[in-house]
Structure 1
Amino acid sequence: MNLKFNEEIADALADKKPIVALESTVIAHGLPFPQNLETATNLERIVRENCAIPATIAVFDGEFCVGLNQYQIERLATDKTIRKISRRDLPIAVAKKLNCATTVSTTAFIAYRAGIKVFATGGIGGVHRGFAADVSADLPELARTPIVVVCSGAKIVLDLPATREWLETNGVCVLGFQCDELPAFYTRQSGLTVDERIETPEEAAQIARARDELNLQSAILLAVPVPEDFEIEAQELEKILSESLKLADANKISGKEITPFLLAQMSEKSAGKTL
């Protein structure tokens, strides 16, 4: 497996400094330009401000790049040929020397093999509404990759009870950082309980160490609600989602197409708040 580290990440790994992995799909496919570039820059800045080193992950020329330079980040933000890849696409990307953005599943896969223990993202994928067999590749990756994934819950357009049940059934420990419920990206509450509420990062680290000592191979999902100032009221969110679901039904959109459709509709109807 060909991992290409930039100098900063290579030094940080050698010196055992804290590193936080970041995905690249949000840059290439999640946001429009220039918001995507601004977001990528801000995410790395926030990690640094909290005394860790950011490692944005992507694939260039079939190589797994851990820690990107400014040119690579700008290319992700502007190059329309960048491919979004899941775990199943990794051998294709390597064999054909593709340029790709990594999803939650591929970022977790690469980060763990690079020796990085923590990965931060916005909202994870899950079980899709109306089609229980359509499960995001994020979930099985969490079940087999012993990393800590920090997020604000699963995307609200998903079937959240089914997603929570999937995590429980497959042994993924869900911790709530100063919260009792799993957040639903972009609201702080979902009505779904976490496995354990924790109050400090130290508690999360202790639980992660215990997981490793037990040789469990699943991730720990550390759910951190969005700040109250950025939360969208649940009532407003449900109204927007309901309208978007009706539109999807009217247009006969289902299966793997429904989640990106709902996300786009919700962004439009919320004037960009759900971005």
Structure 2
Amino acid sequence: MTDLVLSAEVQAAHASKTPIVALESTIITHGMPYPQNVEVARQVEDDIRAEGAAPATIAVLEGRLHIGLEPDQLTALGQAHGVAKLSRADLAVCIATGGTGSTTVAATMIAAHRAGIEIFATGGIGGVHQGAETTFDVSADLQELAQTPVTVIAAGAKAILDIPKTLEVLETLGVPVISVGQDNFPAFWSARSPHRAPLRLDDPAAIARAHRERRALGIPGGQLVANPIPADAEIAAETLAPIIATAQADAAKHRISGKAVTPYLLQRIFELTQGRSLTANIALVRNNARLAARIARALGSSSD
């Protein structure tokens, strides 16, 4: 059985019953360059602490699954090269072979559940890629949401995806998609998409109660909480649409496929927006972390 390595902060949080929020690590290794990646990761952790919860950044380091990273480990991960990007399919292999890898949404959910953490903040989930009817390129994140009981706070699905098909798959899998503060489903860099969210809850305590009720009813899987990017940080959907189309055309031209698609598109969009997409990404991740901490606190209160 895989032994978990808990950071000192996570151990203290468990002992004191402080709420814990899980964080993925691909944003550190695949999202932005050093030292900005480490600076942003620490900002996100501090946002969670400021809301009265403890952060647990998750990663595999030399074959050991870490729940929470010490400051020096976070810095080392931010400078590492050749770090694997782990999802459900390859998490166990990385551990078994003594590898180092950062966790995607799916892998973070698995690790968080194993560590008894029920709330997880990320940027945006993966989903159904454009053209999936021929490529069958559908993120493992969707199936993970259907089977692992962790509530995931994200700014919707990444705008590079086929959002209608992503919502349709989530509905088929029985995943609650809960929009916060609005009826529309957010589209990552943009606060709104043309698509209505199936559910809406604006109160962290209500989201926590819904999480508890699913467990009480014996319903497998988690919840997707779609938290729109703050208005002052968003990039309007009409501005992004032609940029995304250009990036997708470039990816097709260069025959980018599989796990390489999302990093390529995000980098190309960063270039085409002259860095605005990264600024928006940082804002939405921090916003999601703050909401996740509030939900985690409400969840802890409801279980007392």
1:142 matched to 2:142? The reply is no
Q: Which residue of 2 aligns with 1:17?
A: 18
The letter of the residue matching 1:180 is D
| Offset of residue 252 of structure 1 | 4.1
Cross-structure match for 2:235: 232
Going from structure 1 to structure 2, the CA distance change for 1:85 and 1:50 (only over 3 Å counts) comes to: same
Paired letter, 2:241: E
1:274 and 2:295 equivalent? no
Q: Which residue type is aligned with residue 69 of structure 1? A: E
- Residue 88 of structure 1 aligns to a residue in which SS? coil
* 1:246 Cα deviation after fit: 2.8
Aligned residues: 275
* Percent identity (aligned): 44
Give the Cα–Cα distance (whole angstroms) in 1 for the partners of residues 10 and 249 of structure 2: 46
Q: How far did 1:249 drift?
A: 3.6
Q: What is the Cα-based RMSD across aligned positions, in Å? A: 1.4
Q: Is this contact kept in 1: 2:87–2:104, CA < 8 A?
A: yes
Greater fraction helix: 2
Letter in 2 for 1:174: V
Where does residue 211 of structure 2 map in the other structure? 208
Residue 2 of structure 1: CA displacement?
A: 1.1
Aligned to 2:63: 62
Confirm or deny: 8 A CA contact 1:118 1:148 kept in the other structure: yes
Mapped to 1, the partners of 2:237 and 2:87 lie a distance apart of 30
Are 2:181 and 2:201, in contact at CA under 8 Å, matched by a contact in 1? yes
Q: How many Å separate the matches in 2 of 1:254 and 1:161? A: 21
1:242 corresponds to: 245
- Aligned equivalent of 1:86: 87
Q: Which residue identity does 1:35 align to in structure 2? A: Q
Of residues 231-240 and 254-263 in structure 1, the stretch that sits farther from structure 2 once superposed is: 254-263
| Mapping 1:17-56, distance limit 5 Å | 17-56=18-57
Segment of structure 1 superposing worse, 256-265 or 176-185:
256-265
Distance 1:46 1:155, change over 3 A: same
In structure 2, relative to structure 1, the CA distance for the partners of 1:168 and 1:102 (3 Å cut) is same
**Aligned in 2, Cα 1:272/1:117: closer, same or farther, shift over 3 Å?**
same
* Residues 241-261 of structure 1, C-alpha deviations (whole Å, 9 max, x = no match): 122223234434455543332
Task: Give 1:64 shift.
Answer: 0.9
Cα displacement string for residues 209-257 of structure 1 (whole angstroms, at most 9, x for unaligned residues): 1111111111101111000011001111112112222323443445554
1:62-211 equivalences in 2 (<5 Å): 62-132=63-133, 133-211=136-214
Out of 258, 262, 265, the residue aligned to residue 261 of structure 2 is 258
After alignment, is 248-257 or 180-189 more displaced?
248-257
In structure 1, C-alpha distance between the alignment counterparts of 2:80 and 2:250, rounded to whole Å? 31
The Cα of 1:175 is off from its aligned counterpart by 0.7
By how many angstroms is 1:4 displaced?
0.9
Where do 5+ consecutive residues of structure 1 fail to align?
A: none
Equivalent position amino acid for 1:195 in 2: P
Secondary structure class of the residue paired with 2:174: coil
Q: Which runs of 5+ in 2 are unaligned?
A: 279-304
Q: TM-score under structure 1 normalisation?
A: 0.96
CA contact (8 A) 1:128 1:259 kept: no
Give the deviation of 1:128 after TM superposition.
0.9
Q: Which amino acid aligns with 1:62?
A: G
1:91 CA drift (Å): 2.0
Q: Tell me if the contact between 2:130 and 2:161 (Cα under 8 Å) persists in the aligned partners.
A: yes
For residue 74 of structure 1, give the secondary structure of its aligned residue in structure 2: helix
